[in-house]
Chain A
Amino acid sequence: MTTVMDRPAASAGHTASRKPLIERLNIVTALVLGAVSSVVVWQLALKLLPQDADTAFFFNREDKIMLLALIAWFVGFMTGIGALIGPFRWLMGKDLNHDENMFLAGKEQGVKRYFRYTTDHKVVGIQYLVITIIIFLVGGILAMLIRTNLGHAQGGWIEPQTYNAIVGWHGIIMIVATIIMVTGPFGNFIMPIMIGARDMAFPRLNALSFWLIVAAVPPVFISFFTGGITTGWSAYNPLASQSALGMNGYIAFICIFAISTMVAGANITTTVVKMRAKGMTWNRTPIFIYGVVASVALALPAFPVFFLSQIMSGLDRAFATSFYNVAGGGSGWLYENLFWIMGHPEVYVILIPSVAALMEMAPVFTRRPLFSFNLAIMGIAGISGLSVLVWAHHMYISGWAPLLNAPFMLTTELISIPTGMLFLVLIGTLWRGRLWMTMPLMSIFALLWNFMIGGITGIYLSDVPADAFLHGSMYVTAHFHYTLMGAGLTGALASLVYWFPKMTGRMFDKTLSWVSFWLVQIGFNVAFMGMFMVGLAGQPRRVESYAEIFNKGNLVTTIGAYTIMAGMLVLLHGVISSWRSGVKAPMNPWQAKTLEWTVANPVPLENFETLPVITSDPYGYGKAQS
């Protein structure tokens, strides 16, 4: 730890005559320092670490070396980006002065501030947006590789090893992308303005949470070239401890990402609890804020467990501990429990903010108040509360504690009640509204459709006897794509179009938004209906090749997938072209009543000149009845 702390100080020494250190650090220094330190540690470890004895049961020298190099990368990168400047100053008994804080806030730095440890929540929001798009792009390409392989009659176009690695890689990076897709860009950019704050409660933690994600990405890329994550995104042990070196990349990725999520969760929760504008009581707080808080607050208990499960996995690999190894007294069921204690709340971490964002848009595009605000909050709270009690429905047929199947079936099916509340809120808001036909409005209908299918298929899966047939089949894959993509991503894309004017100062091209909407939604339903069929007919998940009877269904899915890809490319084109040369957006293009639309474009550095005072909820639409 000493060496780490020394670095910024040491380099500060000989550069003091020129620009101060804080102004010299950016993504380039971070990448260089990260790469250099990982190479140095890698080489040192290669030289110094003793060989495994020939008689050793486990050969884990390479695992140790790789994990050490990845840790060095992480420490080097975070040092290089400047994450340690604040703590280091603090250690010296000082803090950053005003000018330095203003520098960190990105004052008058133009585009450069997006490549620095910038604390302004609007910069962090844009950074999140861009990295989310990049991760989706990579994950999407991987999805297309999977579908191309399976579209080929009986599969088998890609080598099994490569295919398994692609499936694992697609799974984990899409999970990460969907976790950050709403709370990252919109939770950071929009949320503080929406509650009438000048910034987040802990701006430096905000920057930290973003740059941790950037630091987490290279390990998962490296893993692809060191044997890959061939275990699926769930990385079950003992398969994971048996897997190639790439698994270490997964472990490092998850650990760093989990820290990022915890940091962001603490930050966002504090911001919302402590920094809402004067008069913004809980009854006047927009529903999107509830969604964001519920999401990050759920992540707070969930992700430490994920972190821990991967630390134990890493120890099993590198030091032959036996947390998950039966021969050494461990159990694979332990891993499954830890994983799903994170894994089930995690799907609601993804879903809730998306649905909440659509609930925020519903009154705007129907020009009437949100229907039953209280029920919406009860729904969100109910889902959040129940979601930590359902994890073992992923383990009905694992053989672990069959006597618990019935109680877990109960908690799981109870979730349909609060979920139904969210449906009623959306449908009640649409009812007798004056529909402004825009892509965000149609996304509400799309969500109702997709989430209905995802929800009903979820009832079959929650039922133990039916799950004994459906578990581990393509049916499950189709089900969770319906919820995470059909519902979650639909909400995120609507959010993108809805908040694009505030974030970029330009309107999202209307035609492109429509074209991409229909391509994605139609392609999506074709693709995953086909997947339901092959699942019901008995095709297991994560297979690289399959029996002839599944040919037709897989071809349908692949055609649908290519349609989704076309829609996503149109959307990407829309983002780029509208951002560069779209129509300049007025301050409040949708005539909405939440606070983010009361600030100018581009949003000034500290959002509000005078902080607003709130006197009503933001849903005062509709004509007063005579």
Chain B
Amino acid sequence: MTNLQTPQTTKWWKKSDVKKTFLLWLILTPIIGYVGTTVQLRSIGAPASEVMASVKTLMGVFTWAASPVAALVAALALTSLSGKRHYGDNPPAEADHQISNSPRVASTWVVVSTLLCLFALITGLVVLQKDNESILDATAMNVNVTGQQWVWNFDYVESNGVRSADLYLPVDKPVVFHVTSVDVKHSFWIVQMGIKMDANPGYVTETAVTPNKIGVFDIRCAELCGLLHAYMQTKVHVLSQADYDAWLTAKSTIEGAA
């Protein structure tokens, strides 16, 4: 790929700047790929669902796929920059050549970028399809999520009218969220599970996830919804099935008594 960046002359691949670019490209590709993935994936933190795990995989794959391109641009830029430089108030002498086009370079570039683009598209579609199917899971439990300025409420469809402000979920059980809002637009985001769905007044939208880790995770509103948008956050408690059942029974007793 690199070698084609130079004009067609005899033994163009033996020119020193081409060699330098190629070498730089070889060095920079793994560095950019490694730093890019490590920094990003570390920042994201540990996933709490398969959806989130696949988001991390996707981002890693995309970063690695993009790193040869980024490295190539960087290598070409660095080689150019380390070539003939001129300082001063008057223009330098003219460059040694008048090359204004190279159809072969241009077409290679376009073909390669098209292939990379298709790769990104297909990878994304595969994961998207998997995510979409989870909404249709008949064994899933259902939770109605209602956003209002500036709290979340969760109604557990399969319970007898239990409602909570913190979300409680059993581990390893698929759950479908039916999201809506009573006032303005909010966005329901379970950060560590990698799902997000806007809460629109007057409409119910759906998203689904299967939590696969016991613990406490963050729910934040991701759509500016007025004065206290920044404070519209709560927690999701992922429990073992037994703990979850116990919580649900206790909660329904309290609500029943009240």
Query: Interface of A with B (CB < 8 Å)?
Result: 155, 160-161, 164, 230-232, 236, 238-239, 242-243, 326-327, 331-333, 366-375, 397-399, 402, 405-406, 409-410, 413-414, 416-417, 420-421, 423-424, 427-428, 430-437, 445, 448-449, 452, 456, 459-460, 462-466, 468-469, 471-473, 510, 532-534, 536-538, 540-547, 589-591, 619-625
27 contacts between A and B (CB under 8 A): A155-B230, A331-B202, A367-B94, A368-B98, A369-B100, A375-B101, A397-B196, A399-B200, A399-B203, A409-B124, A409-B125, A413-B120, A414-B117, A424-B109, A427-B76, A432-B97, A463-B124, A466-B124, A468-B194, A469-B194, A472-B196, A533-B43, A540-B230, A541-B224, A543-B229, A543-B230, A591-B91
Which residues of the partner chain B approach A155 to less than 8 Å between Cβ atoms?
A: 230
Given the contacts A230-B226, A239-B184, A242-B184, A538 and B97 also touching, CB distance less than 8 Å: no
Please tell me which one of the listed residues B40, B113, B187, B231 contacts residue A417 in the complex, with CB atoms under 8 A apart. Answer: B113
Given the contacts A164-B229, A463-B58, A434 and B44 also touching, CB distance less than 8 Å: no
Please state if A428 and B96 are interface contacts (CB–CB under 8 Å): no
Q: Is B222 an interface residue (CB 8 A)?
A: yes
Please state if A459 and B66 are interface contacts (CB–CB under 8 Å): yes
Please state if A367 and B121 are interface contacts (CB–CB under 8 Å): no
19 more contacts with CB within 8 A, not counting A375-B101, A398-B198, are A160-B229, A371-B101, A398-B205, A420-B109, A420-B110, A420-B113, A421-B106, A424-B109, A430-B80, A434-B84, A449-B77, A460-B58, A465-B58, A465-B131, A538-B192, A538-B218, A543-B230, A544-B229, A620-B98
Which residues of the partner chain A approach B162 to less than 8 Å between Cβ atoms?
A: none
Which residues of the partner chain A approach B76 to less than 8 Å between Cβ atoms?
A: 427, 430-431
Please state if B101 and A473 are interface contacts (CB–CB under 8 Å): no
Please tell me which one of the listed residues A231, A545, A591 contacts residue B224 in the complex, with CB atoms under 8 A apart. Answer: A231
Given the contacts A242-B183, A465-B128, A538 and B229 also touching, CB distance less than 8 Å: no
Roughly how many angstroms separate A471 CA and B189 CA in the complex, as a whole number? 9
Q: Is B52 an interface residue (CB 8 A)?
A: yes
Q: Is B114 an interface residue (CB 8 A)?
A: yes
| Minimum CB–CB distance for A457 against chain B, Å | 9
Given the contacts A367-B94, A399-B179, A540-B220, A468 and B80 also touching, CB distance less than 8 Å: no
Roughly how many angstroms separate A602 CA and B5 CA in the complex, as a whole number? 42
Please state if B73 and A368 are interface contacts (CB–CB under 8 Å): no
Q: Which of A414, A437, A468 gathers the greatest number of chain B CB atoms within 10 Å?
A: A468
Which residues of the partner chain B approach A409 to less than 8 Å between Cβ atoms?
A: 121, 124-125, 128
Given the contacts A236-B185, A398-B198, A435 and B105 also touching, CB distance less than 8 Å: no
Roughly how many angstroms separate A456 CA and B86 CA in the complex, as a whole number? 32
Please state if B113 and A242 are interface contacts (CB–CB under 8 Å): no
Which residues of the partner chain B approach A459 to less than 8 Å between Cβ atoms?
A: 62, 66, 120
Q: Is B256 an interface residue (CB 8 A)?
A: no
B116 nearest CB neighbor, chain A only: A416
Roughly how many angstroms separate A590 CA and B231 CA in the complex, as a whole number? 54
Roughly how many angstroms separate A370 CA and B250 CA in the complex, as a whole number? 74
Please state if B58 and A372 are interface contacts (CB–CB under 8 Å): no
Please state if A238 and B183 are interface contacts (CB–CB under 8 Å): yes
B118-139: CB near A (< 8 Å → 1, else 0) gives 0011011101100110000000
Which residues of the partner chain A approach B223 to less than 8 Å between Cβ atoms?
A: 236, 472
Roughly how many angstroms separate A232 CA and B187 CA in the complex, as a whole number? 15
Please tell me which one of the listed residues A543, A590, A625 contacts residue B91 in the complex, with CB atoms under 8 A apart. Answer: A590
Roughly how many angstroms separate A406 CA and B132 CA in the complex, as a whole number? 11
Q: Is B221 an interface residue (CB 8 A)?
A: yes
| Minimum CB–CB distance for B47 against chain A, Å | 10
Which residues of the partner chain B approach A510 to less than 8 Å between Cβ atoms?
A: 89
| Minimum CB–CB distance for A582 against chain B, Å | 13
Number of interface residues of B (CB under 8 A): 96
Roughly how many angstroms separate A531 CA and B194 CA in the complex, as a whole number? 19
Q: Is B17 an interface residue (CB 8 A)?
A: yes
Please state if B101 and A373 are interface contacts (CB–CB under 8 Å): yes
Please state if A369 and B99 are interface contacts (CB–CB under 8 Å): yes
Roughly how many angstroms separate A155 CA and B229 CA in the complex, as a whole number? 13
Please state if B202 and A327 are interface contacts (CB–CB under 8 Å): yes
| Minimum CB–CB distance for B123 against chain A, Å | 8
| Minimum CB–CB distance for A169 against chain B, Å | 14
Please state if A367 and B131 are interface contacts (CB–CB under 8 Å): no
Please state if B127 and A465 are interface contacts (CB–CB under 8 Å): yes
Please state if A242 and B226 are interface contacts (CB–CB under 8 Å): yes
Please tell me which one of the listed residues A243, A448, A622 contacts residue B73 in the complex, with CB atoms under 8 A apart. Answer: A448
Q: Is B151 an interface residue (CB 8 A)?
A: no
Q: Is B254 an interface residue (CB 8 A)?
A: no
B63 nearest CB neighbor, chain A only: A456
Q: Which residues of B23-82 have CB atoms within 8 Å of chain A's CB atoms?
A: 39-40, 43-45, 51-52, 54-55, 58-59, 62-63, 66, 69-70, 73-74, 76-77, 79-81
B92 nearest CB neighbor, chain A only: A434
Please state if B95 and A366 are interface contacts (CB–CB under 8 Å): yes
Please state if A619 and B100 are interface contacts (CB–CB under 8 Å): yes
B212-226: CB near A (< 8 Å → 1, else 0) gives 000000101111111
Which residues of the partner chain B approach A432 to less than 8 Å between Cβ atoms?
A: 17, 80, 83, 95-97, 99
Please state if B97 and A372 are interface contacts (CB–CB under 8 Å): no
Q: Is B257 an interface residue (CB 8 A)?
A: no
Please tell me which one of the listed residues B94, B101, B105, B225 contacts residue A374 in the complex, with CB atoms under 8 A apart. Answer: B101
Which residues of the partner chain A approach B218 to less than 8 Å between Cβ atoms?
A: 538, 547
| Minimum CB–CB distance for A596 against chain B, Å | 16
Q: Which residues of B5-34 have CB atoms within 8 Å of chain A's CB atoms?
A: 5-6, 17
